[in-house]
Homo-oligomer: A and B are copies of this chain.
Amino acid sequence: MTGLPNYTYRILARDLDFTGRASLMSLCRYIFNTASKDAENNGFGTRELHNNNATWVISRMSFEMYATLREFDEFYINTWVNEISRLMTTRNLLLCDPEGKTLGAAVTQWAMIDVDSRTPMDLRENMNYSKAARFDIPCPINKPVKIIPGKESEPVLERKVVYSDLDFNRHVNSVKYLEWMLDMLPLENIINNGFSRLDMNYLREALYDDRLLLSYQQEDNHHLFDIKRKDETPVCRARIQWE
């Protein structure tokens, strides 16, 4: 898209699931990698923020795909900061094939937190942030929706947070929740259903050794997922819509 940077990638073997398609986790990792790289290129990446004892945490995301990516497929991602309020900023992303055809789109919403207190910081006080924003380019898809858990469902499994779940922010990595959610589903779901749209709500951080309860339920052509601590504190909710 005019004036936006192109971040180019190629699907690697490591991105594939057992069906030979790029997994939803790998596509989300490309989304987050691009967000991180573009923030860095604009002077507000995690390295710069760490000098100020701050970091980015994701609050919500929506993600749609209109095509299937397989090994060796090339694509690029355009990204731009679109909205900035006191405590939240929106970053949009557009996935395109080498000819510029839209393959998918994402909207991500971020907060800046203080590394020690884990409390949100005022985005407009803490950096010269708005100069990078492109208010003129609209949101490519509907913004992330707030997930309302459906009727009470029993936890499918309990999970302890382990070493490999944690990222440099010392909390469970945002892609891990998605991995756990898909792992709960019957395998036929992933084989037979084309992915249409994901909405993620990140509600609390999960830390090392936290005990989490995971559940899901199916309604029409979508699944609702709920991850909470054993004390019922909600941690992450999501909705996956299938074709």
Contacts and interface: CB of A to CB of B under 8 A. Distances in A.
Interface of A: 12-14, 16-18, 20, 23, 25, 29, 32-33, 36, 46-47, 71-72, 162-164, 166-170, 173, 179, 182-183, 185, 187, 190, 208
Given A13-B36, A36-B13, A72-B47, A183 B168 contact: no
Identical copies in the complex = 2
A128 B160 CA distance: 49
Contacts of A13: 32-33, 36, 46, 167-168
Contacts of A12: 33, 36
Given A33-B12, A47-B72, A164 B183 contact: yes
A182 B163 contact: yes
Contact of A166 (B18, B164, B169): B18
Nearest to A161: B183
Given A14-B173, A16-B168, A18-B208, 19 more contacts: A12-B36, A13-B33, A13-B36, A13-B46, A13-B167, A14-B29, A14-B33, A17-B163, A17-B164, A17-B166, A18-B166, A18-B168, A18-B170, A23-B164, A25-B164, A71-B168, A162-B183, A163-B185, A163-B187
A195 to B, nearest CB: 13
Q: Give the 6 A-B CB pairs with smallest separation, nearest first.
A: A18-B166, A162-B183, A16-B168, A164-B179, A18-B170, A163-B183
Contacts of A170: 18
A47 B12 CA distance: 11
A128 to B, nearest CB: 22
A20 B55 CA distance: 13
Given A23-B164, A25-B164, A162-B183, A32 B14 contact: yes
Contacts of A190: 163
Contact of A167 (B16, B29, B164, B179): B16
A178 B156 CA distance: 26
Contacts of A167: 13-14, 16-18
Of A29, A163, A183, the most chain B CB neighbours within 10 A belong to: A163
24 contacts: A13-B33, A13-B36, A13-B46, A13-B168, A14-B29, A14-B33, A14-B173, A16-B167, A16-B168, A17-B164, A17-B166, A17-B168, A18-B168, A18-B170, A18-B208, A25-B164, A46-B71, A47-B71, A162-B183, A163-B185, A163-B190, A164-B179, A164-B182, A187-B208
